[in-house]
Structure 1
Amino acid sequence: MKFLVLVSASVALVVAVLVLNPDHQWRWSLWRSPVADLVVRNAKIYTSDESLPFADSMAVRNGRVLRVGNYSSVQMQDMVGYRTKELDLMGKIVVPGFIDSHVHLIFGGLQMGRVELRGISQKEEFLKRVKEAVRNTKQGSWILGGGWNNDFWGGEFPAASWIDNITPYNPVWLSRMDGHMGLANSVALKLAGITNSSEDPIGGTIMKTTSGEPTGLLIDSAMKLLLPSIPEVSVEERREAMLRASNHALMRGVTTVVDFGRYFPGASVRQSWEDFSDVYQWADSSGRMVIRVCLFFPLETWSRLHHLVNKVGRTLSQWIYLGGVKAFADGSLGSNSALFYEPYADEPHNYGLQVTDNESLFNLTLASDKVGLQVAIHAIGDKANDLILNMYESVFSTNGVRNRRFRIEHAQHLAPETPARFGELGIVASVQPEHLLDDAESATKKLGIDRAHKGSYLFKSLLAGNGQLALGSDFPVSDINPLGGIKTAMKRIPPGWDTAWIPTERLSLNEALKGYTLSAARACFLDSDLGSLSPGKLADFVILSTDSWDDVVAEESASVEATYVGGVQAYP
């Protein structure tokens, strides 16, 4: 009788553990029935796991990696049952699902359906795109779009006078590729009440002619003067944009993104929260999510995020993670608003802009850190990066030691001693390799050859100083394209160049792959579930079109053949 009571109690305890802990449910299922749902074999699997960097087969069950190893082993063959799907890849390369460490997913999805000016290299083509948009837009409606880069046509900034005669009945707003500057036509300026008597807001600039007339260009915080005049995008449009961008990400092998929302200097801080509730929670509850997202919210709203994390935890579902909070230190190089110690070579009196004052930035970061939130701050110029590193160090000394994984987004231009400080302080450098393709020419013009060569995109120096690199795209500033980013990080050859820009800063293939996988997962506290093909982790992986690692870095040689999320094919 005592034996039966003991057995009954043991069974009850096991059931209780399984009900209360889903992770134990998964481990119980392995012990009870180790047959795989899917076995990938005859592949070149890069695991991103240092304990077993490469394998030729992988077993998946219930959306997670069951085992990785050699298919000829008894343990792997024992995983195959009559319901197991076997995938013979004939030697093709498999990598963990790519993690894009910095995107604006919904904003990018919206831009995909607007006036596309990315890559335009002539004023005539710029005007042609706007004319086409006018033909397809009714009078009085806003014409929106962007992606232009004035460096592609010699550096001259566009002006309202370029487009006023072809847009007499439509307000226009076309953002620069970096999101820190935009062009408005005269109709839009009038709607926003921007005139020659309008003064620059703190952290922003209204560009004016020598006679004091607005040119149509608004930089950083000055965009706040106009953006409220643009009608808010409908919930349906935002949902469509998210789905459009998510499917685009899958096509490029991206299974997880770190989304910083539609939040940039001048944007409404409420938008990130509206997108969270109206778009992401809707998609999750209705089964429409296809990639995983880690969300960051405006630093000013830290208490709201803290309340939500306390209520539901950081993991809302298998699709949505609550990351942390984000702020801005400066603008961008292309808009001449990144903050530097020395002035711009082409504007001797301009040192850039600090878009958030030191006191409020410190106090908000300190408060966020006290409640355990991860903080990420945008910094481009060398002075802006040092300013944030100094502030982070002060926060650490005030609040004490712990595993924070604070981030600096972009970290593009650094003073000579700065890369080592990232490692000393444990700061993540969240960088975007493809930006250097656009900046190589302009950095030389704006900073001078010596400054640009010594301090720009110091990827290898950051790693040498024990810093952590997380790689991404900043979509839609650059396209979501990890394979392109890997090539760029390794080669650093801008368009039209025969040699690498600062070749000593090139990454190895392994370093670049880690930046899009395990390091990217660590940078947002997701490395227990993502970033490597290790037993127990989510089975997100990508099949490439080649069996050669040389093809991965060759031009136009390798592509994404299929993307799997949770062991299920999601693309194509």
Structure 2
Amino acid sequence: MNLAAIVSAAVVLLLSILSLRLLDTYYWSSLRSLLPFTPSSPVADLVAWNGTIYTSDASLPFADAMAVRRGRVLRVGSYSSLKELVHSGTEKLDLGGKVVVSGFIDSHVHMIYGGLQMGRVELRDVNRKEEFVRRIEEAARNSKPGSWILGGGWNNDLWGGELPLASWVDEVTPANPVWVTRMDGHMGLANSVALELAGISKLSEDPKGGIISRTADGELTGLLIDSAMKLLLASIPEVSLNERREALVRASKYALTKGVTTVVDFGRYFPGAPVEFSWQDFSDVYQWADSSGRMIIRVCLFFPVETWSLLLDQINKFGRVLSQWIYLGGVKDFADGSLGSSSALFHEPYLNEPHNHGLQLIEHERLLNMTVTSDKSGLQVAIHAIGDKANDLVLDVYQSVASMNGVRDRRFRIEHAQHLAMGAAARFSQQGIIASVQPDHLLDDADSASKKLGKERADLGSYLFRSLLGSNGGLAFGSDWPVRIMLPTAKYMLLKSRIFYFDAFGIL
């Protein structure tokens, strides 16, 4: 073979190899990002200046200006130090002295549920019975006969504590079924039309872990608590696919307006809700949004604990990181209800209800078994616990599971951890458990906690952020949106105020 033929063959082979990379645009964009920038390179798409930029870097905690390229921060510092990155096409943004921080992470939300609620009857700020009735009447007036009137967010403490009754709204909704949930999602009010459609009567038995509220005479009040809600939810038509997709887009845009760029989403999973909802939303909504380029915030998804094997199968096939937007987190369950619905589980009875200790929503053995299997499979487990007895129950379960399954970085979570028995806060650190707390739930529960638990009991055992920090426990902050609004800066200030209050009185 002559030299020319050898050279020709070598050139063809080399070009063939290079063509694999020449067609790979990701490779070239990655390679370009590694090259040093020169003053002649048009490197900065945006330069923000004249602000206070928090960097989280101990060597330079604050900066005046920031250069950005393709959505990534190139450099922070003084404006003069960034001039070499500016070119004729660089956008310049005068911050006007405003503060810039990185995107916030909300560690507990319900995105699609919250997005749906944004388009329904809003009762969050209602502080009078008359206004409660008026808003539902207005919704009925604008609805076709027979269509469901859905909504929620009401807080009976805002109008003195009296719980709403079906009789409040029956007269103004004679042709429409009504279902409006309390702000915490653990109680809802149905009118008489809805109760009849669901087949709920005064002869109906309370399901395990739930209460069908009745008057002293045994008549239905219209209130359903925790797992009793499933008796009615089964009668509500399923939300359409388009509505759920629109809800995610709406919720994501809302999150960005509050500076939240990443969320831990517990889905439409509440006591009484079908576990299938979470998986339908994952496949029909989240994966659709991801594949169609509609994701604009990052999500860590949790699923009902009884579906742990489905989640494990997904992770084994595709991994936890499905894209830059979606991460498969773990599984969740409920140990009890809520304080506002008087269904949080306590060692001592409610002060205003001497025979009520709250509700345990899952049997100890079942909770233990599902946590053992989920943890053994490598899944992170998060369990909702509000009352002190519920928190002790979950702490005991987690301790047993860790003993059975051995040491690993499992990061068990307790969602809310609102009311703790003496010594319980220290166990979070000892057992390596994350307390996922929502500081501004305190704004809703402060008065009701004193009324339902007694002031001394509430002060010593409720919202012990300082105690958890003092024991070196891990804290994750969230809003529980739509229970509360997403407003990270307000939550941080409330948290600081709570800690300083405890410091002032020497409470740990």
- TM-score where L is the length of structure 2: 0.90
Residue aligning to 1:435: 441
After superposition, give the CA deviation of every residue in 1:405-457 in whole Å (9 maximum; x if it has no partner).
22111111111211121122221111111211111100000000111001111
Residue aligning to 1:153: 159
**Take 2:408 and 2:493, find their aligned partners in 1: how far apart are those partners?**
35
The alignment status of 1:65 with 2:66, answered yes or no, reads: no
Q: Which has the larger radius of gyration?
A: 2
Q: Point out where structure 1 has 5 or more consecutive residues left out of the alignment.
A: 493-500, 507-572
| Alpha-carbon distance, 1:155 to partner | 1.3
Aligned counterpart in structure 2 of residue 412 of structure 1, from 403, 415, 418: 418
Residue aligning to 1:397: 403
Matches within 5 A, 1:395-544: 395-491=401-497, 503-504=501-502
After superposition, give the CA deviation of every residue in 1:312-352 in whole Å (9 maximum; x if it has no partner).
12222222221111111100000000011111001011111
**Take 2:376 and 2:17, find their aligned partners in 1: how far apart are those partners?**
40
Residue aligning to 1:297: 303
Q: Point out where structure 2 has 5 or more consecutive residues left out of the alignment.
A: 4-9, 38-42
| Alpha-carbon distance, 1:158 to partner | 1.1
Matches within 5 A, 1:369-384: 369-384=375-390
After superposition, give the CA deviation of every residue in 1:183-226 in whole Å (9 maximum; x if it has no partner).
11111111111111111111111111122222111100011111
The alignment status of 1:40 with 2:40, answered yes or no, reads: no
**Take 2:280 and 2:335, find their aligned partners in 1: how far apart are those partners?**
24
| Alpha-carbon distance, 1:83 to partner | 4.6
CA RMSD of aligned residues (A): 2.6
Matches within 5 A, 1:104-503: 104-491=110-497, 503=501
The alignment status of 1:31 with 2:14, answered yes or no, reads: no
| Alpha-carbon distance, 1:81 to partner | 4.6
Alignment identity in percent? 67
**Take 2:398 and 2:58, find their aligned partners in 1: how far apart are those partners?**
30
After superposition, give the CA deviation of every residue in 1:148-206 in whole Å (9 maximum; x if it has no partner).
11111111111111111221111111101100000111111111111111111111111
- My pick for the range that moved more, 186-195 or 52-61, is 52-61
**Take 1:39 and 1:81, find their aligned partners in 2: how far apart are those partners?**
10
2:358 partner SS: coil
Residue identity matched to 2:135: R
Evaluate the alpha carbon distance shift between residue 64 and residue 25 of structure 1 in structure 2; reply closer, same or farther with a 3 A threshold: farther
| Alpha-carbon distance, 1:134 to partner | 0.9
Matches within 5 A, 1:556-571: none
**Take 2:500 and 2:350, find their aligned partners in 1: how far apart are those partners?**
20
Evaluate the alpha carbon distance shift between residue 71 and residue 426 of structure 1 in structure 2; reply closer, same or farther with a 3 A threshold: farther
2:171 partner SS: helix
After superposition, give the CA deviation of every residue in 1:84-118 in whole Å (9 maximum; x if it has no partner).
44434243211111111111111111111111111
Evaluate the alpha carbon distance shift between residue 79 and residue 421 of structure 1 in structure 2; reply closer, same or farther with a 3 A threshold: farther
**Take 2:59 and 2:325, find their aligned partners in 1: how far apart are those partners?**
27
**Take 1:505 and 1:152, find their aligned partners in 2: how far apart are those partners?**
29
Residue identity matched to 1:124: E
2:278 partner SS: helix
**Take 1:19 and 1:311, find their aligned partners in 2: how far apart are those partners?**
25
- TM-score where L is the length of structure 1: 0.80
After superposition, give the CA deviation of every residue in 1:442-487 in whole Å (9 maximum; x if it has no partner).
0000000111001111112211111122111111111122222223
Higher relative contact order by CA 8 Å / sep ≥ 6: 1 or 2? 1
2:124 partner SS: coil
- 8 Å Cα contact 1:453/1:502 also seen in 2: no
